[in-house]
């Protein structure tokens, strides 16, 4: 069982831990009920964790 919170009464969030080759880090993640086994992190965070970047979006 996971415990989380509802932000502003609209956004369900839970704390998750992402582990890469170089480090692990906990994040507060938005719960997506249509989860498709992919997640998004900022490029810098993914690099610091040692994760392989599949796709990225430029702002």
| Structural domain contains residue 21 | yes
Does 58 map to a domain?
A: no
Per the domain annotation, does 19 fall within a domain?
yes
pLDDT (0 to 100) of residue 24 = 92
**59 within domain boundaries:** no
Distance CA 29, CA 26 (A): 9
Tell me if 39 is assigned to some domain. Answer: yes
Q: Could you read off the pLDDT of 23-40 as tens digits, one per residue?
A: 999 988 888 777 777 777
Domain that holds residue 9: 4-49
| pLDDT greater at residue 45 or residue 39 | 45
Is 34 domain-assigned? Answer: yes
| Residue 25 in domain | yes
pLDDT band at 42 (very low <50, low <70, confident <90, very high): confident
Are 44 and 53 in contact, with CB atoms under 8 Å apart? no
Q: Model's pTM, two decimal places?
A: 0.59
C-alpha angle 18-23-29 in degrees, rounded to nearest 5: 25
Distances (CA, A) of 58 to 19, 25, 42, 43, 55: 24, 23, 11, 10, 10
Mean pLDDT in residue range 30-52: 81
Number of domains in the chain: 1
User: Is residue 54, in this structure, part of any structural domain at all?
Assistant: no
Residue 16: C-alpha distances to residues 1, 10, 36 (Å)? 13, 19, 16
Residue of 16 and 38 predicted with greater confidence = 16
């Amino acid at each position: 069982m996971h415990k989380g919170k509802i932000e502003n009464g609209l956004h369900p969030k839970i704390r998750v831990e992402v582990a890469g080759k170089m480090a692990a880090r906990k994040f507060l993640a938005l719960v997506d009920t249509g989860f498709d086994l992919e997640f998004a992190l900022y490029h810098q965070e993914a690099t610091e964790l040692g994760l392989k970047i599949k796709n990225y979006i430029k702002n």
